[in-house]
Amino acid sequence: MLPVLALEIAAAALFFTHWALGSDMSGFAAVGILMGAITHAPFLSTRIPVWSMWGMASFTVTIGAELRGVLMLAGYPSEAFVESFFLGGKTFSDLSGPSFVALGTILALTLGFALVANRSAPAIKSHGPASPNALQSSLASEPFVVVVAASYLMVGAVCTYLYTRGVGGIAGSIGERRGAVNADGTTTGTFGYYEFLAGASAVGAMLLLIYWLSAREHLGPGRIFVVAVAFTSAFGINWVTTTRADLVYVSAAALAAIVIIRKHVPWITALLVGTIVLGAIGGLTAARAADDVTRENFSVSYGIDSGILNRNAYDLGKTLRVIDAVPEVLPYENGGTITRFALAPIPRSFWPEKPIITPGPIVGARLYGTTRSGVPPGLSGELVWNFGRLLAVAFAFLFGLLLGGIEKRWYPRNTQDLTGILIYLTVFFTFGKDLLGVSVGNAVFGVFGDFLLLVPLLVLVRLRPGPRRDRYSPVTM
């Protein structure tokens, strides 16, 4: 990692020099690369694994700021696209102030994270007896695991069907299929609870994967096929809503499970998963654009372009434009975009006048002229939008402390602790990336929602006496 950091810092210095000499677009590359380097720095410590919550947070900055900053400089796929889609006609000179504010929030967040996560974290245990916990003992029976996982998968599949039927099937517009709420508060109908419960499929798939990885030295073709089908089922809701991020991050969580339990991912597994995910992203992008989905849309190259040329993740252009728009276009919210998520559990069918919960539609309407698809502000933009530039840096540091505390407490240091692994991968693994790339309220609300999905499983294993260990008991890898 040290050579990579050295290269990034040298590149950032070079592009800053080019900017100072008059190359305006070099400023975006310099700031983006420096942001990526800052989030990569914690990996110099052996206590911070790459396949972790912070790894996903760093990934969203690497793609959204570092890579896109370089693409802005390169004018890819065209200078006109970069200027209109990412920057809205703004230059780096126009956005230099917001650039350094955003850079300050990333630095503060990373510093807060490193101060806590790097402090006396216990060593990762890969040998010795499993730590005693209720889930560990109750999952000593493979039939019990299969039944519970199948139940989760069935609930997810039924709710995916009910959601699909509720939004009128897959023939409707993207806004209708997402049950979107427009910037003016109108909606074609939302079915949030069905969409939420559809996430049970991901829990079932992850449960099967981590149990079989821990319980068996070799999964065998049959179990690998079952796991593949389970994860395919978990992605069913994404084909309805055309949301692409889950394809990446749930797949990353599955690979992280292999790393945590087996200590490495076979290159052929990583290559196969990556190829399938990129192809699926291409297909979803074509569906989102209402294009005819063809075989070419499922190519790796189309998937890469689709995954990069958007405003998702910690998008540099989006972040700078949001900061620049405060307070003239986006008046100070004083915490409003965050606290409104407390109203999210109330169904809009019971309260049609419920305020818009997610800030994305507001950003999309005011900065990009979109009427249906929102543009999430991300951590830096949302903090400035709510509290101003100085307090945004301070709050970013506090959120860094929070991320560091979660990483230190919940990263599975014992590879046989199935409880910890399941909770970490299904609840906390994407918290950092949601915080940085989506919104604060969405990230916090998502953690509570993901944990709520685990409650039935945790209750079941508490009520069920742990059987004696048999040939299906988890073994030390």
Quick one: pLDDT at residue 287?
62
The CB density around residue 145, as the number of other CB atoms within 10 Å, is 21
Check the CA dihedral 55-59-65-67 and report its sign. Answer: positive
Quick one: pLDDT at residue 242?
73
Quick one: pLDDT at residue 130?
40
pLDDT band, residue 103 (cuts 50/70/90): very high
The CB density around residue 107, as the number of other CB atoms within 10 Å, is 19
Distances (CA, A) of 243 to 195, 249, 306: 12, 12, 12
Burial of 219 (0-12, 13-18, 19+ CB in 10 A): middle
- Calculate mean pLDDT across residues 21-33: 95
The CB density around residue 459, as the number of other CB atoms within 10 Å, is 10
Do residues 458 and 152 lie in contact, with contact meaning Cβ atoms separated by under 8 Å?
no
- Calculate mean pLDDT across residues 324-332: 96
Residues with Cβ within 8 Å of residue 249, at least 6 apart in sequence: 56, 429, 430, 433
Mean confidence (pLDDT) of the chain: 84
Inform me whether the pLDDT recorded for 331 exceeds 50.
Answer: yes
Inform me whether the pLDDT recorded for 175 exceeds 70.
Answer: no
Residues with Cβ within 8 Å of residue 182, at least 6 apart in sequence: 175, 361, 365, 371, 372
Three-state DSSP class for 218?
coil
Quick one: pLDDT at residue 60?
95
Instruction: List pLDDT tens digits, range 255-314.
Output: 999 999 988 888 888 888 878 877 777 666 666 665 444 445 455 566 566 678 888 889
Quick one: pLDDT at residue 372?
67
Residues with Cβ within 8 Å of residue 389, at least 6 apart in sequence: 101, 323
Beta bridge partners of 125: 414
Q: Of the ranges 124-128, 187-191, 372-376, 434-438, which is most confident? A: 434-438
Burial of 468 (0-12, 13-18, 19+ CB in 10 A): exposed
Do residues 30 and 16 lie in contact, with contact meaning Cβ atoms separated by under 8 Å?
yes
pLDDT band, residue 43 (cuts 50/70/90): very high
Do residues 167 and 346 lie in contact, with contact meaning Cβ atoms separated by under 8 Å?
no
Three-state DSSP class for 24?
coil
Inform me whether the pLDDT recorded for 128 exceeds 80.
Answer: no
Tokens of 131: 């730590």
Instruction: List pLDDT tens digits, range 194-210.
Output: 889 999 999 999 999 99
Beta bridge partners of 187: 181
% of the chain exceeding 70 in pLDDT: 83
Do residues 320 and 98 lie in contact, with contact meaning Cβ atoms separated by under 8 Å?
yes
Check the CA dihedral 262-264-266-270 and report its sign. Answer: positive
Instruction: List pLDDT tens digits, range 382-438.
Output: 999 999 999 999 999 999 999 999 999 999 887 778 888 999 999 999 999 999 999
Distances (CA, A) of 8 to 43, 67, 262, 422: 14, 12, 31, 35
pLDDT band, residue 127 (cuts 50/70/90): very low
* Residue 358 φ/ψ region, left for φ over 0, alpha for ψ in the -120 to 50 degree band, beta for the rest: beta
Three-state DSSP class for 23?
coil
Instruction: List pLDDT tens digits, range 53-98.
Output: 999 999 999 999 999 999 999 999 889 999 988 998 899 999 999 9
Tokens of 12: 């950032």
Is the preceding peptide bond at 327 cis, omega within 30 degrees of 0? Answer: yes
Quick one: pLDDT at residue 92?
93
Distances (CA, A) of 219 to 56, 142, 216, 432: 27, 13, 6, 31
Instruction: List pLDDT tens digits, range 6-22.
Output: 999 999 999 999 999 99
- Calculate mean pLDDT across residues 329-351: 89
Q: How many Cα atoms are found within 13 Å in the side-chain-facing hemisphere of 251?
A: 20
